[in-house]
Amino acid sequence: MKHLKTIIIFIFIIINTSFTQFQNSPVNKNFNEVKFFEFYKFDSKSKDSDLDNKFELWKLKSFLRGANIHPYKLFSPFSMNYPISRGDLIELKILGANVVVANYPGVFTYFPPYVVDTFHLRNLDRIVELTSDLKLNLIISIRSGPGRSLYTFFDKIREDEFVLVDSTAKSKYIEMCRFIVDRYKNYQNLVGVNFFLEPHSDDPVNISAIDDSTYFEFIEQLIDEVRNVDKSLPIIVQPMGWAYPDRFSTMKKFDDDKIVYSFDMYFPHSFTNEKNDSSYPGFFFVKDSLVYVDSNYLRNFLKPVIKFKEKYDVPIFVNEYGGIRSKKGFIQYLKDLHQIFQENGFHFAYYVWKSEWGELDGNIFDDYNYEKGSERENSKNSVNELIEEFKKVWNIKR
């Protein structure tokens, strides 16, 4: 595996070197026939007054509702094939979604010398332009960057987040954030950026655990640097602990008045993420105690977030939620979450539209592709009760 990573790094260096000469290439407006070596140059016509009003959307109760996307329909650290298309986004919009979360890799390499990763930059350029053209609200949610590889999310060979313990990586990560903001700041449809998706330096593999204060200090520095580039961009911040909602009990309220506070909802984890015969509602072990999890328990589980929102009067965004589609009771789980989200005015985006996970052995993990329905053996993309639930909640009057 060590040799494999060396090869990957070498390929990235070659690609980045090759891309440099193409940075001034013209924009190809036919996004379904994107050429590999093209970049997008942006000339936004948004007025300053429009850009300053982005945060107003977040003040509306449960206004932003949609889905996460990856740049590819087959997506993993080692498998990126079949780019998300314009048609895929149009389909999402027709169903009623009004926001797309670009759950994308960062645009700087995760390894030294932490330079612009032109491969991932091309993908981010493309989704910004596509969503702008389709008048879809866009949130950028960054998965990786200097000192933080895509493998930090991969259980089988998970890597540590070095960004908070390496001063050079930390500086370069913030530089990447400034780069992203400066590149896309004039896009009216860009309504927020989560610069550090699911932080989990408190759950390391080999290095020492990082505490909340170190993480919050990093986020404060990041906010200050971003504000030197854009004074009004909504910045999305999550707690450590993989952005679990219970961590809102120790969440920091930042001084900046355009912060959106966010969590991801994969609870009970053994139901949403693990292959077993669990069902909802049902009994689950929570902190070594057997409890019955239903809609009432979920409401109580989200109390730290609800109390935080009420205390500080701030917007809340569920950056990701979902689970294994074939689990018994999963449709009821979704309905209960949607009810709770709307009761509390949360904005929300499910995970994940159109994408599946490519495994190391060549198999495909398609358990979050809800187009395939709630039956495990159903492999046809068709309208089903899961899609109907999303369609219903997206079209409820805002």
Residue 267 has pLDDT above 60, yes or no: yes
Is pLDDT larger for residue 206 or for residue 37? 206
pLDDT average, residue stretch 41-54: 62
Residue 361 has pLDDT above 80, yes or no: no
pLDDT for the residue numbered 43: 43
pLDDT for the residue numbered 380: 54
**Plot region of 354 (φ>0 → left; ψ -120 to 50 → alpha; else → beta):** left
Residue 378 has pLDDT above 60, yes or no: no
Residue 138 has pLDDT above 60, yes or no: yes
Q: How many CB atoms lie within 10 A of CB 326?
A: 16
Residue 337 has pLDDT above 50, yes or no: yes
Q: Where are the alpha helices (DSSP H) in 241-344?
A: 269-272, 295-301, 303-312, 330-343
pLDDT for the residue numbered 115: 98
At 104-121, the pLDDT tens digits run 999 999 999 999 999 999
Q: Tell me the CATH number at 241.
A: 3.20.20.80
The CA distance from 6 to 318, in Å, is 36
Whether a cis peptide bond, with omega within 30° of 0, leads into 34 is no
pLDDT band at 398 (very low <50, low <70, confident <90, very high): confident
Q: Indicate the number of domains in the chain.
A: 1
pLDDT average, residue stretch 286-304: 97
Residue 65 has pLDDT above 50, yes or no: yes
pLDDT average, residue stretch 181-190: 98
Q: Which residues contact 125 (CB under 8 A, 6 or more apart)?
A: 39, 40, 42, 183
CB 354 within 8 A of CB 73: yes
pLDDT band at 341 (very low <50, low <70, confident <90, very high): very high
- DSSP of 270-286: HHHTS-SS-BSSEEEEE
**Plot region of 82 (φ>0 → left; ψ -120 to 50 → alpha; else → beta):** left
Q: How many CB atoms lie within 10 A of CB 206?
A: 7
Q: How many CB atoms lie within 10 A of CB 369?
A: 20
pLDDT for the residue numbered 16: 47
Q: What is the domain range of residue 155?
A: 2-27+36-395
CB 336 within 8 A of CB 298: yes
DSSP-derived pairing of the beta strands 316-321 and 347-350: parallel
pLDDT band at 50 (very low <50, low <70, confident <90, very high): confident
Residue 260 has pLDDT above 50, yes or no: yes
Q: Could you give the C-alpha distances from 59 to 56, 166, 240, 262, 366, in angstroms and in order?
A: 5, 37, 24, 14, 35
pLDDT average, residue stretch 2-28: 40
The CA distance from 210 to 215, in Å, is 7
Is pLDDT larger for residue 247 or for residue 42? 247
Q: Which two tokens stand for residue 269?
A: 């984890």
pLDDT average, residue stretch 221-234: 98
Residue 13 has pLDDT above 90, yes or no: no
Rounded percentage of the chain residues whose pLDDT exceeds 90? 79
Residue 41 has pLDDT above 50, yes or no: no
pLDDT for the residue numbered 52: 79
Q: Which two tokens stand for residue 310?
A: 């009420």
Q: Which residues contact 227 (CB under 8 A, 6 or more apart)?
A: 256
pLDDT average, residue stretch 185-203: 98
